[in-house]
Chains A and B, each alone.
Chain A
Amino acid sequence: MRELLGDIDRWKSQGKRVALARVVDTEGSGPRETGAAMAVNEDGDVIGSVSGGCVESAVVGEALAILNGEQSARVVTFGYSDNEAFAVGLTCGGTIHLFIQPLEW
């Protein structure tokens, strides 16, 4: 979160809406710890990361859907499954739970 503050402040001062995605829980092997965060603004600009690059693009899609009002703030889970070879997952075999919400507090 600390590393995101400068960009979030800049976005907010430009009047941009911002969604925040934070790792709230992990299971098994995972590249980032609980609390790792990324932020996405309404233009789709991205800062920070929540994994080793495995799920970030999917998170951007979720974040924009939340900013557009197509989705509400919620917990989104990413994990690898053999049955879903094309689903977004973590190559390390772990599972991460993200909470994604508009930064309106």
Chain B
Amino acid sequence: MTVYTTLATRIRANQPVALATVIDGPHVGLTLLMSPEGILGGTLGDAELDRVVARDAVGELEAGRTSIRHYGPQGESTPEDLVDTPTVRVFVESFSPPPRMWIFGAVDFTAALAKVAKVLGYHVTVCDAREVFATRRRFPMADDVIVSWPTPLFEKEGQVLGPRDAVCILTHDPKFDVPAIQGALRTSVGYIGVMGSRKTHAKRLERLTEVGVTDASDLARLLSPIGLDLGARTPEETAIAICAEIIARRTGRLATSLSATNGPIH
């Protein structure tokens, strides 16, 4: 298998992989491919350089970073070692699995949200306990459609959720909402949005108190009512409002019009 074939296979299988390419130095264009476990193939033209770049690339991959790194021809990496040494510039590109979105509740809003989330590159899971509604036929755009109550799903797979991922709870049904919220709060998921009017949210808070979810830092993680205030009405508009909130939370922006603000855009 060539470096490209292995790279393509791993990207398609959603397995983490890092590609290092010499962009400046004696062997411009040579590549080295790495998984978190080590080198998968290729070479940058020097065994010691390969070893040092592989060590650094695994760290970059864990952090999901893509950047240019500087070395000497044999992998020298400290500033003292690099004095009077020609520099090799290596572009290290991390390919991390797509972020995940778990959507609870198989409703119309779910179909629209799953569609927009796919456009943004999410791996989308739809979960509902009702077999009649949680079908592939109704959610062909989702990667997984799971018939389950929230608790077993979180117990089984909740540990995969991290800061880049999102949980959107769209059911409006306390029987389902409350365990979904409890499950999500036990993970390190970056975004927890819960649908419902302000009145529904107030009632939900009472129910959460009854089951012992009272910690202020836990409750602060819940974004409810879900989404940015765009005046969204249809499921599609609401999906945009939810995804826009997810982006704004990640970037820490206020989500006003750029024309109304100053300063750098990116």
Genuine A/B complex: yes
How far apart sit A99 and B264, CA to CA, in the bound complex (Å)? 26
A54 within 8 Å of B by Cβ?
no
- Are B68 and A25 in contact, with the CB atoms below 8 A? yes
Partner among B11, B24, B28, B42 whose Cβ is within 8 Å of the Cβ of A72: B28
Over the window 50-77 of chain B, the binary record of Cβ atoms lying under 8 Å from chain A Cβ atoms (1 yes, 0 no) is: 0000000000000000111000000000
B3 within 8 Å of A by Cβ?
yes
B12 within 8 Å of A by Cβ?
yes
- Are A75 and B11 in contact, with the CB atoms below 8 A? no
How far apart sit A34 and B67, CA to CA, in the bound complex (Å)? 8
- Are B8 and A9 in contact, with the CB atoms below 8 A? yes
Chain B: interface secondary structure? Answer: mixed
How far apart sit A101 and B93, CA to CA, in the bound complex (Å)? 15
**Cβ of A24: which chain B residues have Cβ within 8 Å of it?**
23, 68, 91
A60 shortest CB reach to chain B, Å:
19
- Are A29 and B66 in contact, with the CB atoms below 8 A? no
**Cβ of B42: which chain A residues have Cβ within 8 Å of it?**
105
User: Would you list which residues of chain B between 121 and 178 have a CB under 8 Å from chain A?
Assistant: none
Partner among A72, A99, A105 whose Cβ is within 8 Å of the Cβ of B4: A105
- Are A1 and B266 in contact, with the CB atoms below 8 A? no
B224 within 8 Å of A by Cβ?
no
Partner among B7, B30, B66 whose Cβ is within 8 Å of the Cβ of A35: B66
**Cβ of B31: which chain A residues have Cβ within 8 Å of it?**
105
A47 within 8 Å of B by Cβ?
no
B29 within 8 Å of A by Cβ?
yes
A1-B11, A2-B11 given as contacts; is B67 within 8 A of A30 (CB)? no
In order of increasing CB-CB distance, the 9 nearest A-B pairs are: A73-B29, A105-B3, A99-B23, A24-B91, A105-B31, A101-B29, A35-B66, A34-B66, A5-B8
Given contacts A24-B68, A105-B31, A105-B42, 16 further A-B contacts (CB under 8 A): A1-B93, A5-B11, A9-B8, A29-B264, A30-B266, A34-B66, A35-B66, A72-B28, A72-B29, A73-B29, A75-B23, A92-B265, A101-B21, A103-B4, A105-B4, A105-B29
Can you name 17 A-B pairs with beta carbons within 8 Å? Answer: A1-B11, A5-B8, A8-B8, A24-B68, A29-B266, A30-B266, A34-B93, A72-B28, A72-B29, A73-B29, A75-B24, A92-B265, A99-B23, A102-B29, A105-B3, A105-B31, A105-B42
